[in-house]
Structure 1
Amino acid sequence: MKKKVKIATIGGGSSYTPELMEGFIKRYDELPIKEIWLVDVEEGKDKQEIVGKMAQRMWDATPYDVKIHTTLDRKLALKDADFVTTQFRVGQLNARIKDERIPFSYGFLGQETNGAGGMFKAFRTIPVILDIVEDMKALCPKAWLINFANPSGMVTEAIIRYGKWDKVVGLCNVPVMAKMGESETLGVPKEDLIYKFAGVNHFHWHKVANKDGEDITLDLIDKLYEENSGLPKNIFDADFYKEQLIQMKMIPCGYHRYYYRAEEMLKHGLEEYATVGTRAQQVKQIEHELFELYKDPELDYKPKQLEERGGAYYSDAACETIASIYGNKNTEIVVSTKNDGAIPDLPADCVVEVTAYIGAQGARNVAFGELPTAEKGWLQVMKAMELLTIEAAVTGDYATALQAFTINPLIQSGDTAKQVMNELFIAHERYLPRFKAAIDELKTENIVIKDELVREMCAP
């Protein structure tokens, strides 16, 4: 009989933690948990205390004897853990506001994982995840790392490429929501549909077959123009051009709107920037409301309002992945993992997001085959941008960051892009110690942040 499980969750004060608890509770019979350690930083201490108490109430409402621990000591949480989940946000939501507002102030897209903002989130997150990996090597060398800290694909790539840690799976809620929405659209249980996904995180495509193995992707495309598309809450619904989808015979993920409908997505983003505020500002209000709910001493279940957050179902995917590894279930899940030939258009050693079967040895990828010409070109550019972004995050090299900015399809290269990048460096100085030399040099240029709100946020 296997021993009971210890789980450590980095970013325990996240508003998603109740969903994580719900997922573990649903799977207790196949994943017998003994203790869960929630760990956060000083900035997240108050939220962690609130969500930690709620998490314990959720378990106390079950027949299961599971203890929730909260701590700011990461090493204490990691000691002898069997699984480590990562859901942290370096700099909290204020950092995301800066990621979005600075690019928008210059007419560029501001978004959490795409464009300039996504790259700076990677710059902040990757050094932290590599420190976590070093702690795991010393404190829980047999543990699996289940990452859904964004940008999930780049973070997972950094763990494998620079952290030299192969026991990792990267997750995203976008494939989960696509399957749910498409199942509803077709009126078919999702278990009766066969999916093949290929690409990188927030930049993938998929095909669908019925239970007899017949490709029904084109039929589904027809239906999607009549019904719900299964978009995450954080993506504005600018329809793809139907003839483009028919030509590629695949369905893009929701985030492809930023690339296939860049003009419309930028226009919508700029309108929100000028009126109701960026998505991060909206999420900050949603999160405030959630934590007010979490304070209720009678609340012992995940509230419906959590689904208004863009990352709904991340945590449930994490719980299923952990249960699949623990029980060697070989469950089909879309994950970020080492390519190993699943997509021949990319190097075998890079990280891709593909359909895989998850068991005790991790992910066994489903081969997708070569992509059509246009999609192949897009994907190779995006992977090159990711690799440069990761290298810059690890080395702190300004020129490498500039190279990544230059080839990012959502950034118009030139003086304005360089100004956006420089302002982001100044705004995030506290969380970019590896770029200290570059930032010190930039500070001699007396750079003034254009966006008034961000300028106030950065004031001493």
Structure 2
Amino acid sequence: MSQKLKVVTIGGGSSYTPELLEGFIKRYHELPVTELWLVDVEEGQEKLDIIHALCERMVKKAGVPMKVFKTLNRREALQDADFVTTQLRVGQLKAREQDERIPLSHGYLGQETNGAGGLFKGLRTIPVIFDIIKDVEEICPNAWVINFTNPAGMVTEAVYRHTGFRRFIGVCNIPVGMKMFITDVLQLTAQDSLSIDLFGLNHMVFIRDVVVNGESRFAELLDGVASGTLTANSVKNIFDLPFSEGLIRSLNLLPCSYLLYYFKQKEMLAIEMGEYYKGGARAQVVQKVEKQLFELYKNPDLNVKPKELEQRGGAYYSDAACEVINAIYNDKQTEHYVNVPHHGHIDNIPADWAVEMTCLLGRDGAKPHPRLTHFDDKVLGLIHTIKGFEIAASRAAIGGEFNDVLLALNLSPLIHSDRDAEVLARELILAHEKWLPNFAATVEKLKQ
């Protein structure tokens, strides 16, 4: 690596950026980032200006020799980049609101990474990520791309299935939250060594073992969650419903909170429908939180990340991203939970799948943890179903064909009628027309 360590953050005007910067400042002694470039699109100019000014104040307060740049010119920013992080939202929060409200208006879960909403977030996002990768291949081919744009699993699957780019790692904050929860409830200190066997797909992970100082403490953890003395929800944007004791004990696994959408479909839908009829959707809550955050960020006296940022569902994402970059840069060979292809390491799933699992990270990227070579057979059916949905979704994102969208929707276990799938596909394609340029021919047909 050169003396200069340059990180480019695409979606730099995001309200999460101060947390990312805090992570770099905190690790400056071992990860000396000399340049951080914040890139955004024209619609995000105002937010980018506010974030950039705050970041400059944070760097000044920390007294580290890091320069923060802002630009709308992605290609200029990518010159000589070592790491590129992607944290973008195509169509911004208004598009997310459509992803939530349109499915709910037909009695379906509206959620930004699952079901119809998750599919359409993927359809808007994947082509943009592909454009970024094309630029990276041309301008800074040795850079690593660390993606924490949702739906992270679908995006990672699409990149490895449909491009030749191999320096791409998908990151999610759910495993980080689960790890923090485990650290809390087992009252671990920095001196304890903690290793977690985590496997599955993005937003569909299970923990099958927790090893502290070489000994498994999974049984006591499972017992606490099953009996209800511990709640394992670490995410701000999902209602805190406990899984039933019977489910936890029969699985003998700890599911992440997003699995509520599959194991408690009826309850989750009822809660969301209640919110919808009151005129609310998660996107509106987030828009409100974001508005308040940007008001705080504007304050010329603010020079640290404000506590309020943790009200967003993606808190700790950037900590995960900083740790991943640190592990690669310093060839640490440390344990992380990321989205990558397993290349046949797991013996009972197809070799070309991208999965989310415990990996060891170093200079050459992520390698699946040697302890994890088999996915638990009890949940393989569900994993296969969602992977089928992700593969169909990545094909739809590239082709822009109506039938490919229909296939993906019909393969999702959250859609229960082929006729409804057609209605949802039509309405969502037309609602997002501006953000789906490769669907132009399909849009023309739908409007006839």
**TM-score higher than 0.5:** yes
Q: Given the alignment, which residue of 275, 297, 301 partners 2:300?
A: 297
8 Å Cα contact 1:134/1:163 also seen in 2: no
Alignment correspondent of 2:252: 249
Correspondences of 1:413-452 after superposition (within 5 Å): 413-444=417-448
Per-residue deviation, 1:395: 1.0
SS at match of 2:355: strand
SS at match of 1:210: strand
Deviations 1:190-240 (A, max 9, x none): 743320111110011112333354433232122222124242000111211
Alignment correspondent of 2:81: 81
Correspondences of 1:40-439 after superposition (within 5 Å): 40-189=40-189, 191-224=192-225, 225-275=228-278, 277-367=280-370, 368-439=372-443
8 Å Cα contact 2:331/2:361 also seen in 1: yes
Identity rate of aligned residues, in percent?
Answer: 47
Separation of aligned partners in 2, 1:343 and 1:257: 25
5+ residue gaps, structure 2? none
Separation of aligned partners in 2, 1:193 and 1:212: 7
8 Å Cα contact 2:200/2:375 also seen in 1: no
8 Å Cα contact 1:345/1:380 also seen in 2: no
Q: What amino acid is aligned across from residue 189 of structure 1 in structure 2?
A: T
Q: TM-score, with normalisation over the residues of structure 2?
A: 0.96
Separation of aligned partners in 1, 2:144 and 2:22: 20
8 Å Cα contact 2:195/2:335 also seen in 1: no
Separation of aligned partners in 2, 1:330 and 1:374: 30
8 Å Cα contact 1:153/1:351 also seen in 2: yes
Per-residue deviation, 1:321: 0.6
Deviations 1:352-397 (A, max 9, x none): 0010111000001115243344400000111111000000101112
Mean Cα displacement is larger for which, 366-375 or 296-305? 366-375
Q: What amino acid is aligned across from residue 245 of structure 2 in structure 1?
A: K
Separation of aligned partners in 1, 2:20 and 2:63: 18
Q: What amino acid is aligned across from residue 145 of structure 1 in structure 2?
A: V
Q: What amino acid is aligned across from residue 209 of structure 1 in structure 2?
A: V
Per-residue deviation, 1:64: 1.2
SS at match of 2:62: coil
Separation of aligned partners in 1, 2:220 and 2:124: 42
SS at match of 1:333: strand
8 Å Cα contact 1:180/1:230 also seen in 2: no
Per-residue deviation, 1:158: 1.8
Separation of aligned partners in 2, 1:355 and 1:257: 22
Deviations 1:293-317 (A, max 9, x none): 0001111111000000000000011
Separation of aligned partners in 2, 1:109 and 1:437: 28
Per-residue deviation, 1:2: 4.5
Report the RMSD for the aligned CA atoms in angstroms: 1.4
Q: What amino acid is aligned across from residue 215 of structure 1 in structure 2?
A: S
Separation of aligned partners in 2, 1:210 and 1:127: 40
8 Å Cα contact 2:233/2:240 also seen in 1: no
Separation of aligned partners in 2, 1:391 and 1:129: 14
Separation of aligned partners in 2, 1:75 and 1:372: 44
Q: What amino acid is aligned across from residue 288 of structure 1 in structure 2?
A: K
Q: What amino acid is aligned across from residue 431 of structure 1 in structure 2?
A: W
Separation of aligned partners in 2, 1:425 and 1:290: 31
Per-residue deviation, 1:276: 5.3
8 Å Cα contact 1:146/1:169 also seen in 2: yes
Separation of aligned partners in 1, 2:444 and 2:65: 52
Separation of aligned partners in 1, 2:2 and 2:136: 21
Separation of aligned partners in 2, 1:300 and 1:262: 43
With over 3 angstroms needed to count, the CA separation of the structure-2 counterparts of 1:2 and 1:135, relative to structure 1, is: closer
Separation of aligned partners in 1, 2:189 and 2:251: 25
Per-residue deviation, 1:241: 1.7
Separation of aligned partners in 1, 2:57 and 2:196: 37
Per-residue deviation, 1:32: 1.1
